[in-house]
Amino acid sequence: MIKIDVRRKAFGEEAILRDVRFEVEAGETIAILGASGIGKSTLLRLIAGIDPAFEGEITRPDKIAMVFQEPVLLPWRSVIENLTLVHPELGAQAALSALERTGIVDKARLFPGQLSLGQQRRLALARAFAGRPDLLVMDEPYVSLDPRTAEEMLALTEALIAEAGPAVVLVTHSDVEAQRLARRCLRLAGRPATIASELATGSALLSREVHHDRA
């Protein structure tokens, strides 16, 4: 189980997050919603262990993966090396299988710069799932994709989560993504931000909450 207890996170004197507490069960996906600049990405960086400077405590597993807003690949290494260098325990065959699963096995020897944005995001997904993470953190993973590619990526993510079963914390602005991937949604609001509401997906309320956020 992942336990998040952020009592305070500040940049300088300005507090960004206050008393953000929730738990994520193994295999559960939760979505974090909220207006731009509210502190969602900051919270994700705390959960992923990237930023250790905060008051509070986060209990997380050792095997964590993250899908960033940008693909964040090593542009000077080939597609397959982007998997094998990040996951050295992965053999060449397993790396190729991971690429095959995300539909870019024919690009294995290319550099990331030779891929389209959609293919780069597939590589980022392959990298995230190749290590069989216990916790997957996703920060608006389909941003700036065209609707068709975003839909393909969403379907692929759903399938991969179903196969690997990690706990997932997803930040998104899209109610469709939240509805499709998450069991619960937390909405951050206020300054400093805290959890304003918690809803199960599928409820009519969520839709209203999400639309309220975006307005």
Partner 1 sequence: MDCSCALSKTLQHPALVRAVSLGLLLLLWIVAAELTADASVLPRPLALWTPFTEAVASGALPYHLGMTLWRVVCAFVPAMAIGVALGYLMGRVPAVDQWLDPWLVVFLNLPALVLIVLCYLWIGLNETAAIIAVVLNKIPNVATILREGARALDSNLDAMAKVYRMRSLARLRHVVMPQLAPFIAGAARSGIAVIWKIVLVVEFLGRSSGIGFQIHFYFQLFDVAMVLVYALSFIGVMLLVEALILQPSERRVRRWRTA
Contact 16, 37 (CB under 8 A): no
Alpha-carbon span 166 to 143, nearest angstrom:
22
The C-alpha torsion from 80 through 161 and 131 to 133, rounded to 10°, is 150
Fill in the DSSP letter of residue 189: E
List the x/- string, 117-146, binding to partner 1 by CB under 8 A.
----------x---x-----x---------
User: Could you tell me which residues come within 8 angstroms of residue 145 by beta carbon, excluding any fewer than 6 positions away?
Assistant: 117, 118, 121, 153
Backbone φ and ψ for 22, nearest 5 degrees, come out as: -165, 170
Q: For Cα atoms 131, 79, 111, give the angle at the middle one, nearest 5 degrees.
A: 155
- Is 50 one of the binding residues for partner 1 (CB under 8 A)? yes
Span from 22-30, 86-94, 159-167, 197-205 in contact with partner 1 (CB under 8 A) = 86-94
CB of 76 to partner 1, least distance (A): 4
Span from 9-17, 65-73, 163-171, 185-193 in contact with partner 1 (CB under 8 A) = 65-73
- Is 173 one of the binding residues for partner 1 (CB under 8 A)? no
- Is 46 one of the binding residues for partner 1 (CB under 8 A)? no
Closer to partner 1 by Cβ: residue 85 or 105: 85
Alpha-carbon span 21 to 96, nearest angstrom:
39
- Is 113 one of the binding residues for partner 1 (CB under 8 A)? yes
Q: What six digits make up the tokens of 139?
A: 């920060």
- Is 68 one of the binding residues for partner 1 (CB under 8 A)? yes
- Is 74 one of the binding residues for partner 1 (CB under 8 A)? yes
Span from 2-10, 106-114, 140-148, 160-168 in contact with partner 1 (CB under 8 A) = 106-114
Residues contacting partner 1: total by CB under 8 A = 26
The per-type count for the chain, helices as H runs and strands as E runs, is 7, 9
- Is 24 one of the binding residues for partner 1 (CB under 8 A)? no
Contact positions vs partner 1 (CB under 8 A): 45, 48-50, 64-66, 68, 70, 72, 74-77, 81, 85-88, 110-111, 113-114, 127, 131, 137
